[in-house]
Structures are given as structure tokens and as C-alpha cells.
Amino acid sequence: MNVYVSEELEEMKNELITRGYSIVSNINNMPCDAMICNLKNGGLLSINTQNNIKQEGTLIIDCGSKTVDEIEYILNNRIYSPIF
């Protein structure tokens, strides 16, 4: 699984590497399975995602106030939380 993590989330990126995730540092060179950014701070505005979205879909995760454990759960299950 190729995961892109926004530059400002260095601590999260390092923890995901420690947990065995393949982190894509240059999003323009490789399609990603998931992108992690802070949407409230305009995390996707500076990223050119047109060539990096997989046909089956790329999961976009708003890191917000989530812990690395919560992010890992989302990556593994491709869901945020139950609807109800």
C-alpha cells in the first residue's frame, strides 16, 4: 500500500514508516492508495492529484485530531467509523 502523507505531518509519517507502511514522498511520481492530510488547513490544495488517483479509488484521510492508531485502523479497514 502506497501512502502519501502531507509534508507538515512528519511525526505521523515517521510512525507509519516504523509500522511498515510504504510512504510516497513525491506524489507526482507514483499512484497512491491513500493520502493523509489536514483538510482544514487546505491539505489537498497544493497537491496535484490528477495523475495519482487509482481507478479503484484513493482513500483521502483527514488527519484532524486522529492518532496514528486511528489512522492505521482507517488504512486497514478503508472506513472512518460506523454510520450509527
Place of cell 507538515: 8
**Other C-beta atoms lying within 10 Å of the C-beta of residue 33:** 18
For residue 62, is it within any domain? Answer: yes
Query: Could you list the residue range(s) of the whole structural domain that residue 12 is in?
Result: 2-77
pTM score > 0.85 for this model?
A: no
Coil, strand, or helix at residue 23? Answer: strand
Residue 35's nearest CA partner among 81, 2, 83 is 2
Measure Cα distances from 33 to 2, 3, 7, 41, 74 in Å.
5, 6, 17, 22, 12
Instruction: Please count the structural domains in the chain.
Output: 1
For residue 32, is it within any domain? Answer: yes
For residue 82, is it within any domain? Answer: no
Q: What is the pLDDT along the chain (84 residues), one digit of tens a residue?
A: 889 898 889 999 999 999 999 998 776 667 788 889 888 765 555 555 555 455 567 888 888 889 999 999 999 988 765 544
Q: Tell me, what's the pLDDT at 84? A: 43
For residue 83, is it within any domain? Answer: no
